[in-house]
A and B are shown apart, each in its own frame.
Chain A
Amino acid sequence: MTIDRETGTMIRRDVPSVINPLDRHALEASVRIRERHGGRVTALSMAPDDVLPVLKESLARGADRLVLLSDRRFAGGDTLATACVIAAAVGHLGTFDLVMCGDETTDSGTAQVSAQIAEFLDVPNIMHVDDCGVSPDGDLRLHSRNEEGAFTAEGQTPMVVSVTADINEPRYVTLMDVLDSEGKEVLILSADDLPLEESWIGLEGSPTRVLELFEPERKSRAEMLSGTPAEQAAVLADRLRRLGFRNG
């Protein structure tokens, strides 16, 4: 990935695009709920339309349809503008019981989007979910674990949930799964298809701005040890001992 230093925009052309690993877990969790309780799973993604072939993996993984939100006007959006588009699409696609997301994206890791989607949809949300089920009376029962501890919660649908990698082991996709998914519905939506205003999306809809990118202060270049691995290790061991870092 390269960065446009003027706008701070990521140029993603050279990124080997894959489905975000955590999103695979979210998809797996959704498909398992459908397998036990019925319903329909829609895989929803906001991306340039040339990644469509990559996203079709979601159909092989059990999604019933794939919806791609693709529009140049979405580009440059911060988390707020991104969440706004996704929430508009979820609302546009009809009623829903559960929106499942991965906890963090690998590229920016802000972890804000799922909560913001929930806010725009006006439904509750829980993050860091590592277990998810449906209670006898049809409520969602969720287990969430974070740095402060763990809790079990119950809540009515609809809800937005973001999951950690601990929630499941995504299934192995076979060639048969891929072939079976060929005829599934794929829908591509642009900003014009959604109840959105220009001022809510992309750069225009983003309250945050990149003032500048800069290189951090660095230490001077490290002193490089020379010699064979064993010689370098011996020098380092000696220095660590002298500095008192050897465990007693």
Chain B
Amino acid sequence: MANRQPESRIWIFAEQRSGQPADVVFELLGKARLLAAAPGWKVGALLIGHNVSGTAALLENRGADEILVADNPGLEDYRGGNYLAVVDRAVRNYQPDVVLFGATAMGVDLASRLAARLRTGLSAHCIDLELNEKGELAAVIPWPGGDFLGRIVCPRHRPQMATVSPGIFDVPRSDFPEAEVLTIDGALNSDRGFYRILEKKPEERKPGDLENARVVVVGGYGIGARENWALVEELASVLGGVAGATRPPVDEGWVNADLMVGQSGRTVHPRLYIGVGVSGHLHHLVGVKGTELKVAVNQDTRAAIFDHCDLGLAGDYREIIPALIAALKEPRAGGDL
């Protein structure tokens, strides 16, 4: 595009599987719309796949000015190199200033390779994005160590790229004007660099999954051993909620990685959060949004978690949690509520 001065672009990667856009696509579109509030900015959704015209229709009034569609039988499944070839070509042709991806398996893989191919910067698992009047993107991420957030910029390279976990941004409630649908080149020149998919099995989402739970009880490193994990689960169950974990219990092999709540795990939106033996690293806390009541149980009164919640119980969880479970199981006292 010869003269892009009056027009600046934010693109989002419109990830889809079997024609269904990922939830994070709507979240990214909403955020991109807010970032592109200044005059001269356009939001583009990059949609790649096969037989995706129906998918494009689902995205039409969700915040994009244009939907760029590459449709080709070779793009049916994500196989690394095939999507990369198309995105790389589109980015070189249109030169977007910002390209955003969901921090999903596909988004992270594609964004990482694209950034390397274009030799530009990629901020991973961002929890917020800001765009200044010069068109410079600042990405907010929890910094290693767990006490600070960092503002990351990409001063000399374009496009500026970032991944954002599902659930971080809200989906706008209102509709937007209809987007223009453009066809872009989806041709694949060779099969080099692609693997073959022999078999695929979609994940079955269980109701009561962490993301939708109204009560989440999270166990941290303070749980201390695999055999104590049952207490976390029992408390969650008594409260009609779901158990989650910080990273250490996952790394220690006490629980499955699916349960991890935080920057590189799941983002939850419960009404009630109870952290048990959780130290309070930001990598975990950024994955807990919109709670009505946040409670922490920790032996260490100086634990950072107590600066991030409403109610604190200091003591040994092995005494507190069983007592709490017993008290919650007691029949309701008369006159209560």
Contacts and interface: CB of A to CB of B under 8 A. Distances in A.
Interface of A: 1-3, 5, 8, 10, 21, 78-80, 83, 104, 106-113, 115-116, 118-120, 122-128, 141-142, 146-155, 159, 164-165, 206-216, 218-219, 221-225, 228-230, 232-234, 236-248
B327 A3 contact: no
Interface in B226-265: 237-240, 247, 251, 253, 257-258, 263-264
B54 interface: no
A206 B119 CA distance: 9
Contacts of A80: 115-116, 119-122
6 closest A-B pairs by CB? A207-B121, A155-B195, A146-B105, A237-B327, A233-B323, A115-B112
Contacts of B337: 241-242, 244
A112 B157 contact: no
B187 interface: no
Contacts of B328: 237, 240-241, 246-247
| Residue in B124, B237, B321 whose Cβ sees the most chain A Cβ within 10 Å | B124
Contact of A115 (B116, B151, B193, B315): B116
8 contacts: A10-B144, A21-B251, A109-B124, A119-B116, A141-B198, A212-B151, A225-B314, A246-B332
A239 B311 contact: yes
Interface of B: 17, 79-81, 104-106, 108-109, 111-113, 115-117, 119-125, 138, 143-145, 147-157, 193-203, 215, 237-240, 247, 251, 253, 257-258, 263-264, 271-272, 282-283, 292-296, 301, 306-316, 319-321, 323-324, 326-328, 330, 332, 336-337
B144 A108 contact: yes
B50 to A, nearest CB: 17
Nearest to A123: B193
B144 A1 contact: yes
Contacts of B283: 109
Nearest to B336: A241
